[in-house]
Amino acid sequence: MSHNLDTAIVQKANEWLQDPIDKDSQAKVQQMLSNEPEELTESFYKDLDFGTGGMRGIMGVGTNRVNKYTLGLATQGLSNYLHQQLGDEAIKVAIAFDSRNNSQALASSVAEVFSANGIKVFLFENLRPTPELSFTIRHLGCQAGIVLTASHNPKEYNGYKVYWQDGGQLVPPHDKAIIEEVRKVKLNEVKFNGNDDFIEEIGRDVDRAYLQQVARISLGNEGKDDIKVVFTPLHGTSVVLMEDAFNTAGFSSISLVKEQSNPDGNFPTVDSPNPEEAAALKMAVDQAERDNADLVIGCDPDTDRVGIAVRDHKGQMRLLNGNQTGAVVFEYMLSKMAEKGVDLSKSFTATTIVTSNLMEQISLNYGVESMRCLTGFKWIAELIHRYEGTKKFIVGAEESYGYMIGDFVRDKDAISGALMIAEAAAYAKSQGSSFFEYLADIQKKYGFYQEHLISIVKKGRSGAEEIAAIMENLRSNPPQTLASKKVVELRDFKLGEITDLHTGEKRPTNLPSSNVIQLVNENGDITTARPSGTEPKIKFYFSVNREWKSGDYDEMEKSLREIIQQMIEDLAI
């Protein structure tokens, strides 16, 4: 054994050489102790964090990995908390899982721990989309829900996402309180021996109830017979329900990318199953070019994100970002509702602090209140819960390709999002236009908004330290100019303060604390820095907008991209 190994790490690893750790896992730990010091360090240098939304990490043995034991600790802590909160009340939880390697086995293990704690479990019979889990919690009257997924992360990852009884992910006060309970649990206290009497499989009945709700979001049928859609599930869960949803909604021409339609946790046709990345949608775009399709739709493995490509003003397939797609969805929905005479006076839309201001402008144009929240749809769900009965939620969006249509799902939903996107595209085509021209008209009306995202990967212990240093430097030593314009405002969401850098005056953000920094220059251009909550990354978001006075779409886009490039160079990232 290497003398360089940290003694605390060795001690933690030795604890995994005894019960209740299974023999195969013990053998892997022994192998790392003998021959793999770097892997041992990464696997044991810390405990995998149970964060405010749950857990996500690389699969494997060790305290810093996703496995039966780390998820068992989390589930025992959550079980303890549910019993504390609900006393003698009969407790029910729903569990779903995606197409990742080990997801089904981990879901079964989690179900066993809940059942051993006397908690009724509704376990999906097979893989299902994450938004269906959110729906199921309220549909079956559960107090909590779990989905085993790592969303769009690489194949090595898996995760454990926790939902509360409103169908939204955990928010205060429950998030911090559950973290405290999880930290108290010792491995020998986890009840791994399940009780089958408390586990019930669910499936098609819930699918039908969910799809009935999805069908109700439609605002019109114009052009649905005429639009051609290519759809890829990227080896994920959307293949279970998406075609049914499209058929029920009246679309007649939906073709699958067959090579990507088999659920497979190795994601064999892509490097990353992330519809935010052009490479992930390449097969679908190529098929759309061959078939002369109007629209490409691709979902991530757990079906909460949707990426699209549409024909642009030159007839070429062009990928749109989450902000551009969201703007069309907002304009289509609100204009249709206004046209139908729907009273929008007590309604609201919601976006996050890193999402384009364009959607706020669209909402205000229709007299609809626009609310802002921290990154993550759990905060949009929290707004819905807070205003339930007094204000009606219409639509929410996040720049990272997430959309929530109505409130029957309390998380981003790629199935209802995809249907509304396709409906807007069909409507535009029926009017002699297209989805892309619809977007261009919006930008002429409200201003041309251009956004850009850079993600910088910093893996492991040293990466986490680097990310912390970058954030601290921006906080204490912000750049004086961005794109040749003075930085006039520093928004520190961790401290909850917005500072006028000219006068020094401060005002509150009025949002919960989050490790996010925003810099605003004289032109109103916004740069945001935010460490990812689920991946070893720091993300930089750039947003600029200008009035569209002259030039074509490409010229306008190019001029704003040049401004963003200046901002990137000024940050030296």
Do 255 and 291 meet the contact criterion of CB atoms below 8 Å apart? yes
Q: At what angle do helices 322-339 and 435-446 cross, to 10 degrees?
A: 80
Do 270 and 261 meet the contact criterion of CB atoms below 8 Å apart? no
Phi, psi of 344 (to 5 degrees): -100, 5
Helix (H) or strand (E) holding 351: strand 347-352
How many angstroms separate the CA atoms of 32 and 15, rounded? 14
Q: Is 327 exposed, middle or buried (0-12, 13-18, 19+ CB in 10 A)?
A: buried
Longest Cα–Cα distance in the chain: 75
Do 231 and 298 meet the contact criterion of CB atoms below 8 Å apart? yes
How many angstroms separate the CA atoms of 232 and 243, rounded? 11
Amino acid present at 252: S
Bridge partner list, 560: none
Edge-to-edge strand ranges of the sheet holding 295-299: 254-256, 229-232, 295-299, 306-311, 317-320
Residues taking part in catalysis: 151
How many angstroms separate the CA atoms of 511 and 521, rounded? 22
Give the 3-state secondary structure of residue 413.
coil
CA 430 to chain centre: 32
